[in-house]
Amino acid sequence: MTTQNIPMPGSMDPMEQDFRPTPVPGDLTPYLIDTHIWTDEMLHQAGIPIYDTPFVTVGGGIGSFVTVDYLRICGVPASSLTVLTNLDVPWSSYEYLTRVSQIPRRERLRSDSASTPDNIWGFPSYAVREAFSAKSVKDFFSPLWNVLTEPILADYYTPKAGHAFESMEREYHRIGYAQCVRKGQVRMVRRRYGGGYFTILTPPAGAAPTRRIAYRSQFVHVAVGYPGLKLLPDLQRYRETHRDPSKVVNAYEPHEHVYEQLSRRPGTVMIRGGGIVASRVLQRLIDDRDRLGLQTRVLHVFRTYVTGSHGPSIFMRRKGGDGWAYQGFNYPKSVWGGQLKAKVRKLEGAERAEEYKLMGGTNTPVRKSWQEQLKRGRAQGWYQTLIGEIAELVPGPAQTVVAHVKAAQGYIQAQADFVIDCTGLEADIREHRLLADLLDHSGAGRNPSGRLDVERTFELRGTRSEPGRLYASGSATLGGYFPGVDTFLGLQIAAQEIADDLAALGFCARLGVGRSTKQWWLWARHRPI
Amino acid sequence: MTAGHAGRHSAERAFDGVRATVHGGDHVVGRYPGALILIRRDSTTGSDRIPELLDICLTATSAAPRAPGRQLARRLTGWLSQAEDAPGFGTVAATEDGLAIFLYGEVTVEVPAEDLRLSGRTAAFSVDRLIDWPEGVLSLRADSSAPGSADLPEWFRFQLGVVTGSGATLHIDDASQVASAAGAPTAPPTDQGKARPPASPPQAEPLTGPQREEPEPDEEPETAIGGLAAAPPPPDPEVQGLEPAATPPPPAVFDQIHGVAPDEPQRPPLAVAFTAAPAATDRPGAPPTGFFPTPVPQEEGTVVLGFRCSREHLNDPRVSFCATCGIRMDQRTGVLVRGRRPPLGLIVLDTGSTFVLDDDYLLGRDPDHDGDVLAGRLRPLRLDDNSGTLSRAHVEIRLQEWDVTLVDRGSANGTYVAAPQQQAWVAVVPHQAFALTAGSQVGLGRRTFTFESPHGRL
């Protein structure tokens, strides 16, 4: 599958032209940029210093963290692992996005808690830990009762965001993660002639004598997450044309001023999207409405309006209603360890893409309190829905925004004080510079869902540089043999597959019963590895 | 909230889509979004009240352009109770499901098709009525004996503004209003429904009886009332005989729902939305949107050094996501470049008003007469505070590179800042810049505001 690409003269990415003049010592040269497989000599000639390390992980978020955690438990010393990142701590990007999308540390996450990123065994679970750290009898029994009776009597249990971050911080210190971190932006990963890879890092200005640094390693792991927020074209156009950042916002960016202003005077908010973030934003709006006695009105624009349960068969059905598609978590539970995991592992090409389409799509967990809020809103008339797509946003009278919504009946104008876009994060892997470079120069390809094509071991198909391996995990690999990669458990399962593959190659010890038990005991006693 | 999907009936009767024509004369006729006003200009009344009335119309229609009727009536009643020498005037304005008519003095409204005649003279104070959308035409007149505008060609159209005249006619059943908006060819002169064949010649005085009595093909008016159908070809009397055979089949369900004939050429509804609305804010005489204290600055703006995201938007070098498009800033190696600085956030006043920070401001009880404001270096932002603790020129908000800073002008009672999620207030040292972080609260006098920023940092 590996293809040897010979660069054509002049076949350069226009983005690379920034690097044409190279006045700074140790910078990339056009020759390097255009060459797919590098030799050590080429880097020497460019004046880029080379540092050797056995294993590099790029990204430094939760994907890198759980992979390093797994490898440390499998006996790899911290000095053999290098994390290249811009982030101060692994959860900083995740915490930022959850915080601005209305899940601060004290609120509960809305994703699956079957996995604990700080603990590869998942035992004891968040609920048990929460119970045993409780300061009252009620707080002790409440989480345990929840997990015993979910999802019939109670909603699915999820941990508080702060609980997840604090426990990760404990593990962060226990495994000596900080020793592995090198700060900077990773520009590219290229195969090395003779085996292994070069990872090019741009350290912070003034931190190194040269503009770039190369890490030469046998193994590279890429877990860079989403390239950014998804701001739809009409939203961007509004901001650029009217230079007004306040009226039209994305749910994943700071928008506290919306709630602030609504608490001071009545207003109408237009929500776009029907996923988890939309449900959280709605809950915040309605919580504020109830708590402060506000007169906030909500106009919810659905592109696809779900009217009831849907699915191809009685065994594959998803609840729905009032526009929403409901699911416990963003995937059916069985993708993490049940029949869907087994089924998708065997599917190829179009069949796999079709299966993803069936189980995926926009959905949100049912939460009783939030359902009650919306029901009340519908009955009292302050929550209304509209089916269509926003075609254009223009300023309206009296500090409002007028949205032109393309609906089945034609174009409808709707006026609101704020538009909150809850359509999610940017998913196109080419928007990420590092992933685009892997596609263009390192032999990586796309899977049937358009993201990075990985093997069952999460090795990036087509990029092998014997005896080295290039792995990828996280949202960039969605559509592979394992669904649910962009969840905590998905990241941990990817880390497990990678560790197993590396153990087979002799890089780390296999995690057998003895090692596992001993390591769990160390974890439970909070003893450093 | 004006969701605008209340139903086809109200959608087709959008007030601003109705063609209006002005009758010649010396009084004042004005049209605003959702409202029409006629003000008498007699020698007996001073003309100094006319701008006040026009201002009321502007304010009410800016606040609720789709249905300003009720609000306009409320404001007019309030104003009339204070204005002793008010001139005679009348307004016709849209409500959610009909029209609101307000008449004072010698002004009349006539709807001949429904035999409706209202006059301000018949009331001790004013006439204030809500009516359903009438059939035919509606005339607002200062002088009922003056000639109307019925015989004006269809391309006469009074859409927005203030002109002289003795009255105005709303051609409510004139379906060409939509056709012309859709760029269809103009039909020959008629102020009656486009579907109506010109079997009876246009009347000089249209107020003679219900127009429905005109002979008309079976289904045509139904389509026309749909309001969104394409304009028919110019009526040709010779073709009239063929009409029954050429009559289109009854409108399909598709037409009834969509209001669009299936074979209609591409309608340009978006083009209207794209061009009309932004133009309205750019036009110097347009009603102010009220967001910016002054119109959106068109000049180049402040140039600063920053990083560009992979989609070329300039950003604060410290942020993690582009404030314009949301892409992560690590998609491109950071190289400082010069560019126009985007707005640095906004302040939310305790009253709920917001101001986008695109320039330096001076806040206070009376900042307009400050030297820096008069010289154009600062924008004034006047705050009402009767407590006596707010200085005339109290504090400046200065944008320095990518930071928003406060500079207290040496105010008598000082300026205080509470950091995000903190209760404690910290006094700002006078004449020294104090950098604000997003979410900070600022207290000056008895007033407070919050600074918020879209520039997210991890």
Report chain A residues whose CB lies below 8 A from the CB of B63: 397-398
Chain A CB within 8 Å of residue B352 CB: yes
Chain B residue with CA closest to A256: the answer is B452
Q: Tell me the average pLDDT across B259-268.
A: 38
- If asked whether residues B363 and B448 sit together in one domain, one would say yes
Instruction: Write out the residue range of the structural domain in which residue B391 sits.
Output: 342-452
Contact B322 A228 (CB under 8 A): yes
From the list B65, B278, B346, which residue is nearest A241 (CB)? B278
Whether residues A246 and B346 touch (CB distance < 8 A) is answered with yes
Tokens of A96: 């930022």
Q: Check: CB of residue B139 under 8 Å from CB of residue B109.
A: yes
Q: Which residues of chain A have a CB within 8 Å of the CB of B289? A: 395-399
Contact B278 A244 (CB under 8 A): no
The answer to whether residue B178 scores a pLDDT higher than 60 is: no
How confident is the model over B309-363, as pLDDT tens digits? 888 889 998 888 888 888 888 888 778 888 889 899 999 999 888 899 988 999 9
User: Domain check: are B265 and B378 in the same one?
Assistant: no
CB A451 within 8 A of CB A476: yes
Best to test chain A binding among B328, B447, B451 (most A CBs inside 10 Å): B328
Residues B49 and B139 in one domain: yes
Task: Verify whether the Cβ–Cβ distance A245 to B4 is below 8 Å.
Answer: no
Contact across the interface for B287 and A397, Cβ inside 8 Å: yes
Category of A393 on φ-ψ map: left (φ > 0), alpha (ψ -120 to 50) or beta: beta
pLDDT tens for A43-97 read 999 999 999 999 999 999 999 999 999 999 999 999 999 999 999 999 999 999 9
Count of pairs with CB atoms under 8 A, one residue in A, one in B = 193
Smallest Cβ–Cβ distance between B289 and the set A397, A432, A433 belongs to A397
Residue B201: name the closest of B217, B210, B189, B212 by CA: B189
> Which chain B residues have a beta carbon less than 8 Å from that of A246?
346, 354, 356, 452, 454
Q: How confident is the model at residue A112 (pLDDT cuts 50, 70, 90)?
A: low
Looking at the complex, does the CB of residue B348 fall below 8 Å from at least one CB of chain A? Answer: yes
Q: For chain A, where do the domains classified as CATH 3.50.50.60 start and end? A: 49-221+428-529, 230-306+363-424
Beta-carbon contacts of residue A334 (< 8 Å; ≥ 6 apart)? A340, A341
The whole-number pLDDT of residue A64 equals: 96
Give a yes or no: residue B305 inside a domain.
no
Domain boundary among B290, B323, B357: B290
Q: Which of A205, A254, A268 is nearest residue B1 as measured by Cβ atoms?
A: A268
Neighbours of B97 (CB within 10 A): 15
**Structural contact between residues A90 and A218, judged by C-beta atoms closer than 8 angstroms:** no
Does the distance separating the beta carbons of A257 and B273 come in below 8 Å? Answer: no
Give me the CATH number covering residue B390. 2.60.200.20
What CA–CA distance (Å, rounded) separates A384 from B4? 12
Are A253 and B356 inside 8 Å of each other by CB? no
d(CA A326, CA A365): 5
Contact criterion met (CB < 8 Å) for B63 and A93: no
Residue pointed to by tokens 């019925």: B150
Residue B317 lies in a domain: no
For residue range A235-273, what is the model confidence (pLDDT) as tens digits? 888 988 888 888 999 999 899 999 999 999 899 999 998
| 3-state DSSP helix/strand/coil % of chain A, to nearest 5 | 35, 20, 40
Tell me how far apart the alpha carbons of residues A406 and B270 are, in angstroms, rounded to a whole number: 9
Number of domains in chain B: 2
pLDDT interval class at A344 (50, 70, 90): confident
Q: Is residue B457, in this structure, part of any structural domain at all?
A: no
Cα angle value B102/B104/B109 (rounded, 5°): 55
> Cα–Cα distance between A336 and A338 in angstroms, integer?
6
Kind plus residue range of the DSSP H or E element containing A235: helix A233-242
The pLDDT-based confidence of A10 (bands split at 50, 70, 90) is very low
Residue A27 reports pLDDT greater than 70: yes
**Residue B47 located in a structural domain:** yes
Query: What residues of chain B lie within 8 A of the CB of A99, using their CB?
Result: none
In the Cβ-directed half-sphere of A312, how many Cα atoms lie within 13 Å?
5
B269 and B360 fall within a common domain: no
> Which residue out of A260, A288, A294 would a mutagenesis test of the B interface target, given it has the greatest number of B Cβ atoms within 10 Å?
A260
* A88 contacts on B by Cβ (under 8 Å): 458
In chain B, pLDDT over 70 holds for what percent of residues?
Answer: 67
E strand intervals along A417-509: 418-421, 425-426, 469-472
Contact at CB, B289 and A396, closer than 8 angstroms? yes
User: Quick one: tokens of A370?
Assistant: 């939030």
Instruction: Evaluate whether A301 touches A386 at the Cβ level (below 8 Å).
Output: yes
Rounded average pLDDT over B366-394: 91
What would the mean pLDDT of A417-443 be, rounded to a whole number?
90
Q: How far apart are the first and last CA of chain A?
A: 39
B226 pLDDT exceeds 70? no
Nearest to A243 among B5, B66, B343 (CB): B343
A428: left (phi > 0), else alpha (psi -120 to 50), else beta?
beta
Q: Is residue B165 part of a domain?
A: yes
B236 contacts chain A (CB < 8 A): no
Note which residues in 6-35 of chain B have CB less than 8 A from chain A.
8, 33
Residues B358 and B218 reside in one and the same domain: no
Q: Which of A150-164, A347-361, A491-505 has the lowest mean pLDDT?
A: A347-361
Flag if B326 and A299 touch (Cβ within 8 Å). Answer: no
Spell out a b/e string for B318-332, using b for 16 or more CB atoms within 10 Å of the CB, else e: ebbbbbbbbbbbbbb
Measuring CA to CA, which residue among B281, B275, B286, B306 is closest to residue B296? B281
Buried b / exposed e across A444-471, counting CB within 10 Å, b at 16+?
beebbbebbbbbebbbbbbbbbeebbbb
CATH class for the domain made up of A49-221+428-529: alpha beta
pLDDT average, residue stretch A410-418: 92
Average pLDDT of the residues in A417-433: 88
- A268-272 vs B19-23, strand pairing mode: unpaired
Q: Note which residues in 69-108 of chain B have CB less than 8 A from chain A.
A: none
Cβ pair B8:A239 closer than 8 A? no
Contact A397 B62 (CB under 8 A): yes
If asked whether residues B376 and B445 sit together in one domain, one would say: yes
Q: Do B328 and A227 touch (CB under 8 A)?
A: yes
Q: What is the pLDDT of residue B300?
A: 62
Q: What is the mean pLDDT of residues A261-290?
A: 92
Cβ-defined contact of B5 to A242 (cutoff 8 Å):
no
More confident residue, A17 or B424: B424
- pTM comes to 0.67
How far B327 CA sits from the closest chain A CA (Å)? 4
Flag whether B283 is in a domain. yes
Asked if the A230-306+363-424 domain carries CATH number 3.50.50.60, the reply is: yes
Of the candidates B290, B310, B333, which is a domain's last residue? B290
B458 touching chain A per CB within 8 A:
yes
Q: Which residue shows structure tokens 């498009």?
A: B325
**Contacts with B331 from chain A: Cβ below 8 Å:** 227-228, 431-433
Q: What's the pLDDT score for residue A193?
A: 94
**Mean per-residue pLDDT of chain B:** 72
Rounded to an integer, the average pLDDT of A115-130 is: 91
Q: Are strands B361-364 and B379-382 parallel, antiparallel or unpaired?
A: parallel
Domain assignment present for residue B306? The answer is no
Interface touch A18/B330, C-beta < 8 Å: no
CB-based contact (8 Å) between B5 and chain A? yes
Is the confidence at residue B398, as pLDDT, over 90? yes
CB pair distance less than 8 Å for B326 and A253: yes
Q: Are A239 and B455 in contact (CB under 8 A)?
A: no
Q: Is residue B301 part of a domain?
A: no
A355 confidence band (pLDDT: 50, 70, 90)? confident
Burial B49-64 (b: 16+ CB within 10 A, else e): bbeebbebbbbbbbbb
Choosing from B290, B312, B334, the residue where a domain stops is B290
Strands A219-222 and A469-472, by their bridges, are parallel
